[in-house]
């Protein structure tokens, strides 16, 4: 070991590692595992994207042309499950693996072998999800929210989805334990909590959310499983159960889940904006407090997803007020980003474009979130395309754009080469334009009364649906540019400097590019 270390940075020391496929199966290295997570996530993103395009094809025109309604419902359900659990969440864990040790000056993650296991649980889960299309009755068609009692009616595809969610949940919990332990115990000397980069802070809070709510989801879907097969009646009114209880349990998981998918995105944007504004992040401590407030509030707003189930006026009012409150810390974050830009010296490389795009488009999702927080308006808009527009503005233009920004920001550190800036800009602008062509008209169709999750629609929605479908194909194809940029960057190009970006601060930029296989074996000292 010592001999290998003596090579120092800049030399690969793969001598004591298996090579080829076994390297990836047995690896306990945080960088390898980060890479695996990111590629897994991108593959699932493509699968989920193809499902989305398949359902947009059916919605291109009114009438049933391509799919049977029951298959259409499978497409919407699996698109949701795969994107949430297969694409967005693992992407952020990939970032955590690559970046957290390098940003806090740790040599690796705290539990290296568990790290390997938490990744390798994911492919079997993904296979269960994809294979469920081919079992009798097809994949689950109960929506990604798998509401009972519809989900108790489903075929064996539902059971496969339940097992997949169990496995992914276990993987998330392990990943979170690892991240929390790493952050709390392995920071370099001198790096106090309030000196941590904001990305690390947001992930610390996210990991706590995950540990708190993934078991809740596991409980909810286990109850569905026993209702389906073992004669229990948790959600069956005829047996003394309550279908609405499922929704309460699901959304007690589901709302924090929404923030699980956006807080690390906030973290990435908070790294990118100061770098390209060449100015320190404005209001660091208020950012930390705002993130924590959002996390705490996320536990007391769940019933705003179910205003139409019929709850007492006092409950509706409580959940409305609590939901509106979330706008305050979220607003603080947006204001802080803009104050960071203010009187900076900005340049607009691809990461900054994605960060600015994020702030702009995510905020539109935030605004519609405020509209939906107002109970009476929500009752009109619940389960319409307005909601579909809203959550795609925060999940695609929010989480996904931040993920893209993060990849462009750190990929020179990962590969040692600069990505193709021109192609990166094309990727940004095409994504941004097609994203809005796809999802902006959905606000209108939702307001005008188009329910979500329908394979066919009344004629007044035809124009907007046609536009959305065209936009969706444009958006989907634009992502191939991203794949091309990443592959090109891995294969070579202009050498990246260690301090890749002029204004970047943080320990990861003190390392060579590409970051050596082992970093910070001797902890750096943070002043």
- Annotated catalytic residue, options 30, 31, 79, 228: 79
Please count the residues of this chain forming the interface with another protein, following the rule CB under 8 A.
Answer: 106
Single residue of 316, 415, 500, 519 touching another protein by CB under 8 A: 316
27 to 66, contacts with another protein by CB under 8 A? 61-65
- Eight-class DSSP state of 23: H
Q: Does residue 270 carry a catalytic annotation?
A: yes
CA atoms within 13 A on the CB side of 132: 28
Q: How far is the CB of 203 from another protein (least distance, A)?
A: 22
Site string for another protein, 178-217 (x = CB under 8 A): ----------------------------------------
Q: Quick check: 429 binds another protein (CB under 8 A)?
A: no
- The answer to whether the CB of 164 falls within 8 A of the CB of 125 is yes
d(CA 369, CA 353): 24
Single residue of 107, 123, 149, 474 touching another protein by CB under 8 A: 149
The closest alpha carbon to 188, from 471, 421, 502, 524, belongs to 524
Q: Does residue 368 carry a catalytic annotation?
A: no
231 to 270, contacts with another protein by CB under 8 A? 236-238, 242-244
Q: Quick check: 421 binds another protein (CB under 8 A)?
A: no
d(CA 507, CA 104): 7
Q: How far is the CB of 311 from another protein (least distance, A)?
A: 9
Structure tokens at 486: 């990443």
With vertex at residue 212, the alpha carbon angle to CA 251 and CA 254, rounded to the nearest 5 degrees, is 20
With a CB cutoff of 8 Å and minimum separation 6, the contacts of 238 are none
For another protein, give the closer residue by CB, 112 or 334: 334
Q: Does residue 333 carry a catalytic annotation?
A: yes
Single residue of 32, 159, 227, 349 touching another protein by CB under 8 A: 227
Q: Quick check: 433 binds another protein (CB under 8 A)?
A: no
Q: Does residue 257 carry a catalytic annotation?
A: yes
Q: Quick check: 430 binds another protein (CB under 8 A)?
A: no
Q: Does residue 304 carry a catalytic annotation?
A: yes
The closest alpha carbon to 376, from 322, 448, 297, 320, belongs to 320
Q: Does residue 17 carry a catalytic annotation?
A: no
- The answer to whether the CB of 221 falls within 8 A of the CB of 159 is no
Q: Does residue 166 carry a catalytic annotation?
A: no
For another protein, give the closer residue by CB, 342 or 429: 342
Q: How far is the CB of 211 from another protein (least distance, A)?
A: 29
- Annotated catalytic residue, options 31, 56, 228, 305: 305
d(CA 454, CA 215): 31
447 to 466, contacts with another protein by CB under 8 A? 447-449, 451, 453-460, 462-464, 466
Q: Is 171 helix (H, G, I), strand (E, B) or coil?
A: helix
- Annotated catalytic residue, options 201, 259, 302, 410: 259
Q: Does residue 330 carry a catalytic annotation?
A: yes
| Backbone dihedral region for residue 255 (phi beyond 0: left; psi -120 to 50: alpha; all else: beta) | alpha
With vertex at residue 426, the alpha carbon angle to CA 424 and CA 429, rounded to the nearest 5 degrees, is 110
For another protein, give the closer residue by CB, 50 or 338: 338
Q: Quick check: 475 binds another protein (CB under 8 A)?
A: no
Q: Does residue 68 carry a catalytic annotation?
A: no
Q: How far is the CB of 257 from another protein (least distance, A)?
A: 19
Single residue of 3, 6, 189, 343 touching another protein by CB under 8 A: 343
| Backbone dihedral region for residue 138 (phi beyond 0: left; psi -120 to 50: alpha; all else: beta) | left
- Annotated catalytic residue, options 41, 77, 171, 478: 171
Q: Does residue 171 carry a catalytic annotation?
A: yes
- Annotated catalytic residue, options 58, 77, 98, 144: 144
Single residue of 53, 423, 470, 526 touching another protein by CB under 8 A: 470
The closest alpha carbon to 114, from 228, 33, 218, belongs to 33
How many of the other CB atoms lie within 10 Å of CB of 408?
A: 27
For another protein, give the closer residue by CB, 351 or 441: 441
For another protein, give the closer residue by CB, 26 or 293: 293
DSSP codes of every residue in 364-411: HHHHHHHHHHSHHHHHHHTTBHHHHHHHHHHIIIIIIHHHHHHHHHHH
- Annotated catalytic residue, options 333, 390, 392, 413: 333
Q: Quick check: 16 binds another protein (CB under 8 A)?
A: no
121 to 140, contacts with another protein by CB under 8 A? 135-138
Contacts from 217-221 at CB under 8 Å and sequence distance 24+? 217/165, 217/169, 217/250, 217/253, 217/254, 217/257, 218/165, 218/166, 218/169, 219/249, 220/246, 220/249, 220/250, 220/253, 221/146, 221/162, 221/165, 221/166
- The answer to whether the CB of 186 falls within 8 A of the CB of 106 is yes
Single residue of 248, 278, 488, 518 touching another protein by CB under 8 A: 278
- The answer to whether the CB of 329 falls within 8 A of the CB of 293 is yes
70 to 109, contacts with another protein by CB under 8 A? 70, 73
DSSP codes of every residue in 74-123: HHHHHHHHIIIIIIIHHHHHHHHHHHHHHHHT-SS-SSHHHHHHHHHTHH
Single residue of 300, 324, 423, 481 touching another protein by CB under 8 A: 324
For another protein, give the closer residue by CB, 186 or 372: 372
360 to 399, contacts with another protein by CB under 8 A? 360, 363, 367, 370-371, 374-377, 379-380, 382-384
- Positions annotated as catalytic residues are 79, 108, 144, 171-172, 255, 257, 259, 270, 304-305, 330, 333, 452
């Amino acid at each position: 070991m010592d001999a290998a270390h003596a090579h120092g940075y800049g030399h690969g020391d793969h001598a004591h590692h298996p090579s080829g496929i076994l390297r990836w199966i047995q690896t306990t290295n945080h960088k390898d595992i980060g890479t695996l997570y990111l590629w897994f996530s991108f593959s699932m993103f493509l699968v989920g994207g193809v499902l989305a395009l398949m359902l947009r094809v059916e919605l291109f025109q009114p009438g049933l042309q391509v799919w049977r309604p029951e298959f259409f419902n499978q497409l919407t359900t699996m698109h949701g499950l795969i994107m949430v659990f297969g694409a967005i969440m693992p992407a952020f864990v990939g970032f955590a693996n690559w970046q957290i040790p390098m940003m806090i000056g740790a040599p690796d993650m705290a539990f290296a072998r568990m790290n390997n296991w938490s990744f390798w649980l994911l492919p079997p889960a993904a296979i269960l999800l994809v294979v469920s299309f081919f079992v009798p009755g097809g994949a689950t068609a109960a929506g990604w929210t798998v509401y009972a009692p519809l989900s108790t009616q489903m075929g064996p595809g539902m059971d496969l989805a339940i097992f997949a969610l169990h496995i992914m949940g276990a993987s998330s919990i392990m990943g979170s334990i690892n991240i929390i332990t790493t952050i709390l115990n392995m920071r370099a000397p001198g790096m106090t909590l309030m000196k941590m980069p904001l990305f690390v802070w947001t992930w610390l809070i996210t990991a706590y959310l995950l540990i708190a709510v993934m078991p809740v989801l596991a409980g909810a879907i286990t109850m569905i499983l026993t209702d389906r097969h073992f004669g229990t009646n948790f959600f069956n009114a005829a047996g003394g159960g309550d279908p609405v209880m499922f929704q309460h349990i699901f959304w007690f998981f589901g709302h924090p889940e929404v923030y699980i998918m956006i807080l690390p995105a906030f973290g990435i944007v908070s790294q990118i904006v100061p770098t390209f504004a060449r100015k320190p992040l404005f209001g660091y401590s208020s950012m930390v407090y705002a993130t924590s407030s959002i996390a705490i509030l996320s536990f007391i707003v769940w019933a705003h997803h179910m205003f139409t189930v019929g709850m007492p006026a006092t409950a509706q009012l409580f959940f409305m007020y609590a939901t509106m409150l979330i706008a305050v810390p979220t607003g603080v974050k947006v204001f802080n980003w803009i104050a960071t830009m203010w009187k900076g010296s900005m340049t607009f490389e691809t990461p900054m474009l994605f960060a600015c795009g994020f702030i702009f488009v995510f905020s539109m999702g935030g605004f519609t979130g405020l509209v939906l927080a107002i109970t009476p308006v929500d009752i009109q808009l619940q389960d319409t395309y307005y909601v579909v527009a809203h959550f795609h503005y925060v999940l695609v233009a929010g989480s996904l754009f931040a993920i893209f920004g993060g990849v462009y920001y750190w990929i020179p550190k990962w590969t040692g080469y600069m990505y193709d800036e021109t192609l990166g800009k094309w990727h940004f602008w095409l994504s941004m334009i097609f994203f809005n062509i796809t999802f902006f008209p959905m606000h209108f169709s939702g307001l005008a009364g188009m329910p979500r999750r329908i394979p066919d629609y009344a004629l007044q929605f035809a124009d907007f649906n046609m536009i959305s479908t065209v936009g969706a194909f444009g958006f989907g194809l634009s992502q191939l540019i991203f794949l091309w940029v990443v592959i090109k960057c891995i294969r070579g190009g202009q050498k990246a400097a260690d301090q890749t970006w002029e204004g970047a601060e943080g320990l990861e930029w003190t390392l060579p590019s590409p970051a050596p296989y082992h970093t910070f074996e001797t902890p750096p000292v943070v002043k």
